[in-house]
Structures are given as C-alpha cells and as structure tokens.
C-alpha cells in the first residue's frame, strides 16, 4: 500500500473527519464565548468592581525604557517590550474558560439525555436453524 493511499484511508475514516469538524466548530464557538466574556460579561464585572477593565490590571516587572513616551496601558507597555505581570488578563481568560467549560458541560449533558431517551433497538429475531438446534439440545437433556 502506498503512503498516499494509506494516508487517504486514514484521513477519510469517520473519527478523523468528525474530529476535524469538531475542532473547526470549537474554534468558532470559542471566539463567540470570548466575545461574550470580553464584550458583555467583563464590562459588567468591571463596573461592579470599580469601573475598570480587568485587562488594565497588571504589575510592571521593570520600568519602561527611558525614551518611552506612550501611555501606561497594557497594550502600549507590551508593545514597548516592558515585562508585565498581567493578572487582569489572566482573570478574563479564566472566566472565559469557565464559561466555555460550563456550556460544553450543558451540551454534553443534553446529548447524553437524548441518547438515554432513545429506546434500545429490538433484538434481531433468532434464526430458525438456531431455534431448532436449541430444541434438539433441550430434548436431549431430558
């Protein structure tokens, strides 16, 4: 079997295609959740905790360069190469993860409920020759 044929056979297996679709949908879903956290939830949480954006919470680990004239914001300091301990950004990412994990949990839970709700398939009818052999076996036991 050639390498190309073997790879084609591997790539066309159901599990690999399903995994690829799942990764693509998961990436898109992750962007949606990221937007929900960044644009909807974090502004409300920031307002509750003093009106600041969590991404502005950081500690400078060293001073900016002497010729630095930019703003003292996370984005500007990062562009200037100043090392930052960005715990506010970490809080945002952690909340993002918790929400994403919770939504995936709810989806898997619902899928499992749907699987349990489906009745099991009826067992296949026993072939006639097997039934006759069982009758013969039972008759010989007597």
CATH number where 74 lies: 1.10.1200.120
- pLDDT tens per residue, range 27-45: 888 888 888 877 888 788 7
Number of domains the chain contains:
1
62-63-67-73 Cα dihedral, nearest 10 degrees: 100
137 pLDDT band, cuts 50/70/90, is: very high
Q: CA triplet 43, 31, 38: central angle to 5 degrees?
A: 10
Query: Do 41 and 74 touch, CB atoms closer than 8 A?
Result: no
Q: Strand 84-85 to strand 59-60: parallel, antiparallel, or no bridges (unpaired)?
A: antiparallel
Tokens read off for 103: 């939504």
φ and ψ at residue 65, rounded to 5 degrees: -55, 155
Residue 133: inside a domain: no
- pLDDT tens per residue, range 61-119: 988 888 888 888 888 888 888 999 989 888 878 887 888 788 888 888 888 888 777 67
53 pLDDT band, cuts 50/70/90, is: low
The burial of 65, by beta-carbon neighbours within 10 Å (0-12 exposed, 13-18 middle, 19 or more buried), is given as exposed
Residue 130: inside a domain: no
Domain limits at 64? 3-122
């Amino acid at each position: 079997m050639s390498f190309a044929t073997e790879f084609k056979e591997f790539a066309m297996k159901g599990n690999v295609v399903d995994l690829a679709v799942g990764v693509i949908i998961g990436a898109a879903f992750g962007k949606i959740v990221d937007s929900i956290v960044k644009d909807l939830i974090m502004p409300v949480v920031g307002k509750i905790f003093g009106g600041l954006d969590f991404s502005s919470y950081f500690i400078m680990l060293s001073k900016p360069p002497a010729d630095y004239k930019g703003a003292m914001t996370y984005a500007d300091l990062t562009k200037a190469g100043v090392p930052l301990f960005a715990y506010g950004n970490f809080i945002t990412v952690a909340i993002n993860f918790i929400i994403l994990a919770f939504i995936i949990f709810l989806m898997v839970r619902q899928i499992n409920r749907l699987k349990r709700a489906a009745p099991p398939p009826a067992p296949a009818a026993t072939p006639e020759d097997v039934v006759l052999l069982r009758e013969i076996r039972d008759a010989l036991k007597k």
